[in-house]
Amino acid sequence: MDTTTAAEFYKERVAILSKELAHLKKASSRIAWIRLCVFIATAFAIYQLWGSGVVLLLCIALAGIAAFLFLLSLNTDNKKKQANMERLIYLNKEEIEILNHNYLHRETGEHFNIPTHAYANDLDIFGKASLYQYINRTTSEQGKQLLATHLLAAQPTAFIVQQQEAVKELATKPVWLQQFSAYGLSNIVTQATQKRINHWLQEKQTSFTWRGWQWLANIYTAITLTSFVLYITDVIPSNAFYLLTFIYFLFSFYQSKKIHATYLLLSKVVDEVATLWQQLDWLEKEPFENKYFNELKQGIQPNQQTSAATEILALKKILDRFDARLNVFAFYFLNSFLLWDTRQMLALIDWKKRNAGYVNKWFDAIAATEVTISLATLHYNQPMFCFPDISNQHFVFEGKAIGHLLIPAAKRVSNSFILVGTGKTALVTGSNMGGKSTFLRSVGVNTVLALMGSPVCAERFTISNIELMSSMRIADNLAESTSTFYAELKKLQTIIEAVKENRKVFILLDEILRGTNSLDRHTGSKALIKQLIQQHAVAIIATHDVELANMESNFPQAISNYHFDVQVANDELYFDYKLKDGICQSLNASILMRKIGIEMN
């Protein structure tokens, strides 16, 4: 990876791209002036040479039109380049903001949240100030969905290992991945477009199934154009030609009616198909060393003679030609004399036969690439984050300097932690605001990242491929008449059922049974811990109940105690947020209550 820091790289890119954008705008202005000069020169030449002969005037007019159209094409290309530069500048400025932890304006992914999910709510996977909001760099709806899916469930170990290698390599290509994202921003690829295309692919073809249609279209065109030539050479009279033209129109209109439904279905996907083509082309042309992307590229190639990008471009061109029907005069001439709609329909049918089995793979490839770009950008921005080792043994959790990536580095306090073996519970006691909940979330968030192939906020990290479950943030539900206590019981029931099913779960609990009285809470917590140990579960439990820590004497091989403490000086509290061995001896509730005016005797 380049030794240039991410912030320096993004600032340099903004400066370079801004200069290129300024050059493009100047070029656009020059083209506009040249276009005006061509128009004036053509008009002046025709004026001066008027009466010199029809052929000469026609040649001048055609040359002027050709030059004007050429310049118009140059300007269109220039505008596209300007738009691309503006998107790239936006992406780099956005990364600078994110590096400064200004990311709360970004998409939250709240619509992916599942209220009953095993850990999503507890770990702030979605929503304001969430993991999704911080790491997401996807542009397509498919990419966003896939990223959410990976955040909500651990991936197979083989996939994780391949994803890590892909992320490492992609992080060395920041310019490439930014351009991929810039293409994605040009016209957001949506699931609606994928559904439209799939609907068309799955439709049973009832018209134009006869194999001789292409042959018939060619003969038809030969007949219509021949009649046109005979008309302009006065071989056939006007009345006869007009009658023939009317017959041609009726026949072509009848055929076009059978095509109209397909046109309506596909007419709205052209812009997104163009994005898909740009991204696939960019992906296929880039050489990769990692197995993940090489297999991805092989899986989307229809055959040895063509590429995914070539095929999707062919579809775009067909749909572009279809749009000629939007011009009334073009529709009349092209269909009446060339069977234009029929020819495009035949091309679509042929395209469908070649590519029906690959379209969803192309959308999937874009989504997978965007997810990898998200993780690669995290790696590029945070090169000190490590890639975890995935242990085949159950259970292993070992992390050195584990931190929460959503806390700025200047404020972040990291902790090391080890938990190995089954039937183990780590009890974390401590005072209010001491860091217990943040520690649990640091463990949880990094576990989620590790099991999707991402780097994690730690110096070293090893974990088994497990199913993460938590009960940390419980809320009542007035609509369902659900109390906080009952809501927590439902969450704990889900965890207990998973344990009884011998699933390989890693459990994070924060202040369990808080909705009941202290005696019931202590009794219930104690019983739950015993049950977890007996059923070989693995858990980290944060609690204010120091009495629970005494269970270590009865289960010395199963329970280990840790704590966060607080220092008091001149009635002020000082937290170091460092995880320490043993039971917490200093609590701060009485000091806090005294500070708000409660008279403590």
Distance of CA 62 to the CA centre of its chain: 48
- DSSP characters for 332-375? HHHHHHH-HHHHHHHHHHHHHHHHTTTHHHHHHHHHHHHHHHHH
Per-residue confidence (pLDDT) for residue 272, from 0 to 100: 94
Residue 481 has pLDDT above 60, yes or no: no
For 508, other C-beta atoms within 10 Å of its C-beta total 24
Q: Lowest-pLDDT range, 45-54, 351-360, 441-450, 486-495?
A: 45-54
Burial class (CB in 10 A: 0-12, 13-18, 19+), 165: middle
Q: Is the separation of the CB atoms in 463 and 397 below 8 Å?
A: yes
Q: Lowest-pLDDT range, 95-109, 385-399, 520-534?
A: 520-534
- Report the amino acid identity of residue 34: I
Helices within 171-307 (DSSP H only): 174-186, 191-202, 213-232, 238-266, 270-285, 291-299
Per-residue confidence (pLDDT) for residue 156, from 0 to 100: 96
The string of pLDDT tens digits covering residues 362-398 is: 999 999 999 999 999 999 999 999 999 999 999 999 9
Contacts of 120 (CB under 8 A, 6+ apart): 113, 114, 126, 151, 152
Q: Is the separation of the CB atoms in 430 and 542 below 8 Å?
A: yes
State mean pLDDT over 242-262. Answer: 86
Residue 94 has pLDDT above 90, yes or no: yes
Distance of CA 489 to the CA centre of its chain: 35
Residue 440 has pLDDT above 70, yes or no: yes
State mean pLDDT over 392-417. Answer: 94
In which residue are the tokens 């198909």 written?
273
Distance set, CA 289 to CA 34, 162, 177, 263 (Å): 47, 11, 15, 41
Contacts of 527 (CB under 8 A, 6+ apart): none
Per-residue confidence (pLDDT) for residue 491, from 0 to 100: 87
Distance of alpha carbon 522 from alpha carbon 516, whole angstroms: 10
Contacts of 278 (CB under 8 A, 6+ apart): 183, 186
- DSSP characters for 421-436? SSSEEEEEEE-TTSSH
The closest of 215, 220, 239 to 335, measured between CA atoms, is: 220
State mean pLDDT over 497-517. Answer: 88
Q: Lowest-pLDDT range, 2-16, 101-115, 123-137, 173-187?
A: 2-16
Distance of CA 389 to the CA centre of its chain: 25
The string of pLDDT tens digits covering residues 275-291 is: 999 999 999 999 999 99
Per-residue confidence (pLDDT) for residue 104, from 0 to 100: 94
Per-residue confidence (pLDDT) for residue 567, from 0 to 100: 75
Residue 150 has pLDDT above 60, yes or no: yes
Per-residue confidence (pLDDT) for residue 59, from 0 to 100: 86
Contacts of 419 (CB under 8 A, 6+ apart): 395, 397, 398, 426, 538, 540, 560
Mapped onto helix, strand or coil, the DSSP state of residue 288 is coil
State mean pLDDT over 122-130. Answer: 95
Most confident of 238-247, 260-269, 287-296: 287-296
Residue 479 has pLDDT above 50, yes or no: no
The Cα angle at residue 374 between residues 507 and 158, in degrees rounded to 5: 60
Q: Is the separation of the CB atoms in 398 and 561 below 8 Å?
A: no
Most confident of 119-133, 506-520, 584-598: 119-133
* Beta-sheet pairing, 396-402 with 415-420: antiparallel
Distance of alpha carbon 241 from alpha carbon 250, whole angstroms: 14
In which residue are the tokens 């009890």 written?
427
**Model confidence at 1, in pLDDT bands (50, 70, 90)?**
very low
Q: How many residues are given for the chain?
A: 601
**Model confidence at 118, in pLDDT bands (50, 70, 90)?**
very high
CA-based radius of gyration for the chain: 33
Residue 449 has pLDDT above 90, yes or no: yes
3-state helix, strand, coil in the chain (%, to 5): 60, 10, 30
Residue 132 has pLDDT above 70, yes or no: yes
State mean pLDDT over 101-114. Answer: 94
Query: pTM higher than 0.75, yes or no?
Result: yes
Per-residue confidence (pLDDT) for residue 360, from 0 to 100: 95
Distance of alpha carbon 144 from alpha carbon 146, whole angstroms: 5
Most confident of 30-44, 92-106, 233-247: 92-106
Q: Is the separation of the CB atoms in 362 and 296 below 8 Å?
A: no
**Model confidence at 482, in pLDDT bands (50, 70, 90)?**
low
Burial class (CB in 10 A: 0-12, 13-18, 19+), 90: middle
Burial class (CB in 10 A: 0-12, 13-18, 19+), 26: exposed
Residue 109 has pLDDT above 70, yes or no: yes
Residue 92 has pLDDT above 70, yes or no: yes
Distance of alpha carbon 21 from alpha carbon 27, whole angstroms: 10
State mean pLDDT over 547-571. Answer: 85
Both tokens of 277, joined, read 């083509």
**Model confidence at 204, in pLDDT bands (50, 70, 90)?**
confident
Mapped onto helix, strand or coil, the DSSP state of residue 418 is strand
Average pLDDT, the chain: 89
Residue 474 has pLDDT above 80, yes or no: no
Per-residue confidence (pLDDT) for residue 589, from 0 to 100: 60
Q: Is the separation of the CB atoms in 356 and 123 below 8 Å?
A: no
The residues with which 488 forms a beta bridge, in sequence order, are none
Handedness of CA 456, 460, 464, 470 (dihedral sign): negative
State mean pLDDT over 541-569. Answer: 87
